[in-house]
Amino acid sequence: MSPQLLTSVVTGGAGFLGSHLTDRLLSEGHRVIAIDNLATGNASNIEHLANNRNFEFVYHDVTGCILLPDHVDFVWHFASPASPVDYLELPIPTLKVGAFGTYNALGLAKKKRAAFLLASTSECYGDPLVHPQNEDYWGNVNPIGPRGVYDESKRFAEAMTMAYHRHYQMDTKIVRIFNTYGPRMRLKDGRVVPTFIDQVLNGNPFTIFGDGSQTRSFCYVTDLIEGIYRLMASDYHQPVNIGNPSEMSILQFVREITRLTEKPSRIEFCPLPEDDPKMRRPDISRARKILGWEPKVSLEEGMQVTIDFFRTKI
């Protein structure tokens, strides 16, 4: 009798990150059950897996009870709107998936005696007063601002995850994800990478909020997934930052996209949105020490692949 495959459940499995994680797990020999209600995910992200006998897609909203007859080894909770456009348009569903969705995903992991990983976010740090941000920083979040629906949903999800770990002795992991980019991002999802690529490829001006001096740190998706995969395999239970510590201003990023596309474009400056972080850079000392992880893909290499992907969509 052949040994039973490791089975992973990926909530948000048709999303940008969830679909890349699914690909990685399948390549590692897992059976994968992807759960998604396609509110912000896209079936096209997983259509290449239609004939993979180790892959199953379940159309379901995880704010409702998750019932699976299968043996499950790992639950990876990635379901959530993740861009400002999405969570400002879907504030209540964002809060519900952070609360009820996390509760149901943890409940599934508890019932199946599975390891659990929460996809949290650098937004837990809010508009930070500490730079770079390390995992011991409690953040500077406006709980009643428009971004609070996402920030607080993730902070609550972290609290619930740690409560299950302490109370039920569950094997739980928390990854705080910083700005990530790559193929399968939605062109109109409002995040800076697809927005700028869309604008330059269509000959439109770059829209910069504020004066462009605010900073971000961009991590290519395969680097991120590698770090997350290592985190699940570890015995570490506190939050871990996964991101690229190479920081640049938004104006510098515009110049890089212009150079790579060879399409100069003018810039339009707009008012900075409320509570928009002025600085964003991960301290990845913990990931280096515990996981032996750091990003490998250069911005030029990753952006070229991403630009090429978006050229096929325009």
Looking at domain 7-181+219-245+281-296, its CATH superfamily turns out to be: NAD(P)-binding Rossmann-like Domain (3.40.50.720)
The amino acid present at 76, given as its one-letter code, is W
How far apart CA 192 and CA 115 sit, in angstroms, is 33
| Contact yes or no for 14/45 (Cβ under 8 A) | yes
Residue 142, phi then psi, degrees to nearest 5: -90, 105
pTM of the model: 0.96
CA-to-CA separations, 29 to 41, 45, 205, in angstroms, rounded: 24, 20, 45
pLDDT in tens, the chain (314 residues): 345 899 999 999 999 999 999 999 999 999 999 999 999 999 999 999 999 999 999 999 999 999 999 899 999 999 999 988 898 899 999 999 999 999 999 999 999 999 999 999 999 999 999 999 999 999 999 999 999 999 999 999 999 999 999 999 999 999 999 999 999 999 888 889 999 999 999 999 999 988 999 999 999 999 999 999 999 999 999 999 999 999 999 999 999 999 999 988 899 998 888 878 888 999 999 999 999 999 999 999 999 999 999 999 87
Active site residue 150: yes
| Contact yes or no for 206/193 (Cβ under 8 A) | no
Under 8 Å CB-to-CB from 26, ≥6 apart: which residues?
32, 49, 52, 54, 55
In three-state secondary structure terms, 311 is helix
| Contact yes or no for 92/24 (Cβ under 8 A) | no
Active site residue: 87, 103, 137, 150, which one?
Answer: 150
